[in-house]
Structure 1
Amino acid sequence: MSHQLVDTTTANSFLPMVSVVVPIYNGETDLPELINCFLSQTYPKDRVEYLLVDNNSSDRTLNYLKISAENSSITIRSFSENQIQSSYAARNTGIRAAIGEIIAFTDADCRPQSQWLKSLIQPFVKPDVVIVVGEIVALPGNTLLEQHANSQETLSQKHTLGHSFCPYGQTANLAIRRIALEKVGLFRPYLTTGGDADICWRILQENVGRWEFSPEAIVQHRHRTTFKELKSQWQRYGRSNRYLHELHGVKLMREITLKECGYRLGRWLLKEVPKDSVKAIAGKATLVDILNTPIGLFTARARYSGQQEAKLPENAKMIEWL
């Protein structure tokens, strides 16, 4: 990543039109807080529109969106994507309607901090920057699993930006220059996971421009609180791995066998638990630290099972165009 110096006056007067696209499925309980976060953005209100796309919700999401669009002091436009059940199809609906030269993405269960958009848009002052990735941090959580995910920084973009195949940003906090989407196409509408990596990789591999990370562009997100939710999250990561393997040749993860699990749990019980317990008594470790190994094995097994069971549907290879 090359860095060019930018005149600060240019940077301060750089206020491109931005379209924020959010796919929503059964999000009526999340929407009031999300819209409050949009209301508190420091980016000039007349330079941003919020495109909220209902993806066939069975609750009152669509109704709430229409009311918000009519009664808000910011520009909210509501849409529906009822044909295809996929957040990427819903995002495409938003992108098509967008008027901004920068398209920013977040999710209904995210909480963008007030400086989010301003920080996310700033790097685009450099004309060769086509993707900007903001950071995702956890909302404060009380459960053991939330604390574990927090200690592992599960959601942090530094994992995806450090991906061994090619860097990418998660759509919970991502902005893309519109011209990049004109050149490589939109999201694959029938893909159900992995679409964020796919679109970033297509842009970067076409050499349309480069990416930059904006750590001050912060979105908060809730961690999973139950083993059932945790299992389904990691199975989805596994499915994503399989799809990206078929689309881009990404390496598949190896199996963590029951025998290996047994060996690692034995070592954990005999070596790690006594050592971490001593640390805990001294106030230098917590229950979360003690349980890192078994929870880590649980998520690795879930991810592998998701990868094993997944098969990329033929229509998921299709790319939509602007």
Structure 2
Amino acid sequence: MVTNDRPIRISVVIPAFNEADSIGTQLNALASQISPGVDWGVIVADNGSQDKTVEVLRAHKETFPVPLRIVDASAVQGAAYAFNVGVTAARGESVAFCGADDRVDRGWIAAMVEPLTQTEVVGGPIRRLESPFRTGTDVLWNSVAPSRRTGQLMAVGSGNIAMHHDVYMAFGGFDHSHTRYGSDLDFGVRLQESGASVGFVEEMVYFFRPTTSSMTLLRKVLRSGQGEAVVWKRHEGLFRKENSRSWWLSIGPELIRAAASMRSRSDAAGVLRLGVSRLGQINGKWNLRRRSLPEQQLVDRVGDVHEL
């Protein structure tokens, strides 16, 4: 077990829920980091796992090359709350986020160190994680990308993002009233509104494990649409089009155009995902007519953090 009394420069925060079978890949990737001269550590925020996740973490803790802490994030279900708990427990000047079932590149930590001295928030390319593992896979998206509203760089999602700890605390971090979906979009919007500087780091490579089941993917798309509707309502001033009558009127023509342009099975799958996404957004909007927006729950609502 490694302990370190020196100041931690970067705290890596990983939310985990029932990841006993997959988190070892990410921990091994972190243990293999090439980061000479950088003091860093890992915090895994366990979101109430019912499997052997905590036991797996404790086994890795004994031989992990940097401090590995396990904290209890079981009070509220969802990755947003787990991130907030992990950042509250963090001692690093900066915090970096990754998923329990993904994999970071060997130079991930080293790639973010210098950019974080110049920029408050950094991200990089997200590539497809394949088995057997290889590095030259397709780039699926970038974790920071230009906003469609302003053209300025903003955080896209929660994986492969690093930022100054004080910036996270100042703008509130994740809103964990989003217990399932919507928290990533809300996070990116509020972070951009905070005025924090954002930069892209090509060498900050991250490998994402795609959903392989078509039905599971469609359920995620549906629930993401529901979460997006909540974010649109909460930030009405930023999403005027999505909260207007014209949005409703645009759905039919949009789907017709998409269907008319289909040329392959991949195109058909894209049209299906678009339709399911719009269905989720419609359902989310309908639900908000029957109930009020949930109260925001930001990082300052976490309270004391306990280690496991």
Same fold (TM over 0.5): yes
Residue 157 (structure 1) aligns with: 142
Q: Which amino acid aligns with 2:270?
A: G
Distance 1:141-1:228 versus aligned 2 partners, 3 A rule: farther
Please, which of 185, 188, 198 is the counterpart of residue 197 of structure 1? Answer: 185
Shift of 1:163: 3.1
CA-to-aligned-CA distance 1:171-201 (integer Å, 9 cap, x gap): 1110111121232223212213232332333
How far apart are the structure 2 equivalents of 1:162 and 1:224? 25
Shift of 1:93: 1.0
Say yes or no: does 1:188 pair with 2:178: no
Aligned residues: 274
Structure 1 residue matching 2:113: 3-state secondary structure: helix
Larger radius of gyration: 1
Instruction: Specify every segment of 5 or more residues in structure 2 that has no aligned partner in the other structure, as ranges.
Output: 1-6, 303-308
> How far 1:40 sits from its partner (Å)?
1.1
1:112 and 2:104 equivalent?
Answer: yes
**1:131 alignment partner in structure 2:** 121
For 1:217, what is the secondary structure of its paired residue?
coil
Letter in 1 for 2:120: V
Out of 274, 283, 295, the position equivalent to 2:269 is 295
Q: Counterpart of 1:280?
A: none
| Cα distance between partner residues in 1 of 2:222 and 2:16 | 21
Deviates more, 1:36-45 or 1:56-65: 36-45
User: What is the distance in 1 between the residues matched to 2:297 and 2:214?
Assistant: 34
Unaligned stretches of 5+ residues in structure 1: 1-14, 143-149, 273-289
Q: Aligned pair 1:319/2:267, yes or no? A: no
Alignment of 1:1-322 (within 5 A): 17-44=9-36, 47-126=39-118, 129-140=119-130, 155-157=140-142, 161-165=145-149, 167-191=154-178, 192-207=180-195, 209-249=196-236, 250=239, 251-252=241-242, 256-257=251-252, 265=259, 268=262, 272=263, 290-310=264-284, 311=287, 314-321=293-300
1:299, 1:197 → 2: CA distance? 18
State how far apart, in whole Å, the 1-side matches of 2:169 and 2:73 are.
21
Q: SS at 1:215's partner residue?
A: coil
* C-alpha spacing 1:220/1:256, structure 2 compared with 1 (3 Å): same
Amino acid at match of 1:319: L
- Partners in 1 of 2:191 and 2:251 — Cα distance? 33
> Which TM-score applies when normalising by structure 1?
0.76
Find the residue that maps to 1:161 and give its secondary structure: strand
Q: Distance in 1 between matches of 2:295 and 2:272?
A: 29
Distance 1:200 1:260 in 2: 26
Residue type of the partner of 1:301? G
| Distance in 1 (alpha carbons) for counterparts of 2:114 and 2:227 | 30
TM-score, normalising length: structure 2? 0.79
SS at match of 2:192: helix
